Amino acid sequence: MEGQHHPYTSVNIDTGGGGGGGADRFPQWSIQETRDFLMIRSELDPTFMETKRNKLLWEVISTRMKEKGYNRSSEQCKGKWKNLVTRFKGCETMEAEGIRQQFPFYNELQAIFGARMQRMLWIEAEGGGASSSKKKAVATAQLSSDEEDDNDDSDGDQKGGSKKKRKTKSNTNPSNSSNLITSIREIMEEFMKQQMQMEMQWLKAYEAREEERRIKEMEWRKTMEDLENERMMMDRRWREREEQRRIREEARAEKRDTLITALLNKLRREDM
């Protein structure tokens, strides 16, 4: 299939964690395969936030990965997502420069969770008129990705009391809703604070690199100028030496011509 990458022909580079228990039997995830996987997962993230029954969604992801030429099961995809999220959370204490070196998929994960936060704020802005599915999306969005995936086998596995418990949780009172909104705001503020700190760290590192590059460039230019000046001086000295040699040659030639002329004149006088 044109434009697709099969996992068995890809470079076996896995910088985002294993694929969910099949590391001994299946090849590691290549960088391109992981980026394609995150693109698919990003497109389905709103659906993941609206339901806890994610088993079918992981099947959809597995099918779409196969359409791109990757042979990955739903369990492998789910395990890969867990590992990527774990790596992403571990980047919170790292510096911006180190993040991009140790975890090349940080920007993709950041975009997914940033879009999720925007959807949560949009749902919050709708106020009390939001539908139950949207309220459920807000509640689900607060869960970590590990909690999302641990709840995705609820199709047929949870019966009776568990269904009643879920139904009871969905009927939250206004105070719980207020607490939820406050919690969302706190999460968003903390998220934005971390983003600003990371951006500031990245900006400082970038400015330091630019200053170092500028200094090295100035040193290089000065070295090149010194070499050029030295070359010009050598060229000028060579031209001066050549000019002096030419003058000496002309003087010798003139003396030689004078002697030859005098000799010829003397010979003519003797012949007479």
Euclidean distance between CA atoms 84 and 17, whole angstroms: 6
Residues 32, 38, 42: CA angle, nearest 5 degrees: 150
pTM over 0.75: no
Euclidean distance between CA atoms 74 and 32, whole angstroms: 18
> Are the C-beta atoms of residues 134 and 119 closer than 8 Å to each other?
no
Residue 26: band (very low, low, confident or very high) from pLDDT cuts 50, 70, 90: low
CA 95, distance to chain mean position in Å, is 14
pLDDT tens for each residue of 80-116: 999 999 888 888 777 766 777 778 888 888 888 888 8
pLDDT tens for each residue of 34-81: 999 999 998 888 888 887 778 888 999 999 999 999 999 999 999 999
> Are the C-beta atoms of residues 71 and 7 closer than 8 Å to each other?
yes
Distances 225 to 8, 211, 216, 218, 228 between C-alpha atoms, Å: 53, 21, 14, 10, 5
Euclidean distance between CA atoms 96 and 262, whole angstroms: 92
Distances 112 to 14, 104, 106, 120 between C-alpha atoms, Å: 20, 15, 10, 13
Euclidean distance between CA atoms 54 and 104, whole angstroms: 26
> Are the C-beta atoms of residues 77 and 145 closer than 8 Å to each other?
no
Average pLDDT, the chain: 75
pLDDT tens for each residue of 131-166: 445 444 444 444 444 444 444 454 444 444 444 444
Place of tokens 């099918």: 63
**Residue at 2: amino acid letter:** E
> Are the C-beta atoms of residues 83 and 29 closer than 8 Å to each other?
no
**Above pLDDT 70, what percent of the chain?**
68
Q: How many CB atoms lie within 10 A of CB 34?
A: 23
> Are the C-beta atoms of residues 34 and 105 closer than 8 Å to each other?
yes
